[in-house]
Each structure stands twice: as C-alpha cells, then as structure tokens.
Amino acid sequence: MLEVIGILGAAFILIAWILGLVDELKKRENLIELRFSLVSLLGTVILIYYSSAIGNTVFLFLNLGIFFVVIFEIAYTVYLVKYRYPWRDKK
C-alpha cells in the first residue's frame, strides 16, 4: 500500500514537471540551456541505476519519467536550433 502512495506522489511530481514544460513551450521558443539538460540527464541516469540497485520502485519510476522529460527537452532544443534557426549555421 505504501508503494502505491509513493508511486502516486511520483506521478504528481512528473505531471507537474510536464505541465511546467508545456507552459515553457507556450511562452518561448527555446527550452533550457543544453548544458543544464545534459548535466541533469547524467544525474538522472545515475539515480536510475541507484534506485534500481537498491530496489526502490517509486524512485525508479520517478527518475525514469524525469529521464524521458529531459530527453524530450534536449531533442526539442536541438530541433529548434537545427530547423527553426537555420540561419545560425550559414555564414
């Protein structure tokens, strides 16, 4: 029963993170700095390994969700730079 409560809490954290991401997409064209996203991705991968190693399902679920959100942020930012701002590549 406690694990279900933990997963529910993790789901709410992920929903809040995703809602914040959607809000950022509406407000501006760029997402966060890629350096921040890459460092966050590294930390998340380490925490995924750690939560798996200690057998904490809730922590694993939360970090997997964060992992996919960060991957989306990186992919979307790269897309913006490559396709919406092609003039940056031209000299």
pTM of the entire predicted model: 0.73
What letters, b where the CB count within 10 A reaches 16 and e where it falls short, cover 36-48?
A: ebeebbeebeebb
pLDDT at 52: 92
What letters, b where the CB count within 10 A reaches 16 and e where it falls short, cover 56-87?
A: eebbbbbbbbbbebbeebbebbeeeeeeeeee
Q: What domain range includes position 79?
A: 2-86
Specify the number of domains making up the chain: 1
How confident is the chain (91 residues) per 10-residue block, as mean pLDDT?
79 83 72 78 90 91 90 85 64 50
Asked if residue 91 belongs to a domain, the reply is no
